[in-house]
Amino acid sequence: MTGLTHLDDDGAARMVDVGAKAVTAREAIASGRIDMSVTAARAIADGLVKKGDVLAVARVAGIMAAKRTADLIPLCHPIALSAVTVDFSLDDSGVTVIATARTAGQTGVEMEALTAASVALLTVYDMAKALDKSMIIGGVCLIAKTGGKSGDWRRTP
């Protein structure tokens, strides 16, 4: 109908059949940012947030979220992840996250990387909201992906 893989000929939602696809090494990298007050950013940097180590908790949350992506996104395939990393860059105005997901499988890991980045940022918000309720999460996007039938892709600046 539209060429969208998650729609059948009648326009109904469907899970894509990946059974005939080749198993290949796949990787996806996603990023996002949470902007906040200088006070909140410094408290995170100095380990002064009462709930604990914000970035350590957010890292674990992001990894756990990547592993549960198929439970959250209705038409995603459950996949065996071989690795998930969640890294942060902190400055005086906020936190940037880079999440990477890897697998050897029949479908990509873009949604897992995006989910990891999103949940890591939500966790930063949850951990630091007592310091700054006006934090803004944004810019969550796919940076790059490798593997699969469509090959490699990288966001251009």
The candidate with the shortest Cα–Cα distance to 30, out of 122, 139, 152, is 139
The first and second tokens of residue 67, run together, are: 């592993």
Indicate if the pLDDT at residue 19 is higher than 70. Answer: no
User: Percent of the chain beyond pLDDT 90?
Assistant: 76
pLDDT of residue 149: 82
pTM over 0.85: yes
Query: Of these residues, 35, 46, 126, 132, which one is catalytic?
Result: 126
Collapsed DSSP state (helix, strand, coil) of residue 92: coil
Give the neighbor-by-neighbor strand order of the sheet with 24-35: 83-91, 94-105, 24-35, 136-146, 153-154
What value does the mean pLDDT take over residues 109-133?
Answer: 97
What value does the mean pLDDT take over residues 43-69?
Answer: 97
Provide the b/e sequence for 134-155 (b: ≥16 CB within 10 Å): ebebeebebbbbbbbeeeeeee
pLDDT of residue 1: 40
- Which residues have C-beta within 8 Å of that of residue 59, sequence separation ≥ 6? 86, 87, 88, 120
pLDDT of residue 17: 66
Indicate if the pLDDT at residue 25 is higher than 60. Answer: yes
Q: What is the pLDDT of residues 2-18, one digit of tens each?
A: 466 766 677 777 667 67
Q: Is 126 a catalytic residue?
A: yes
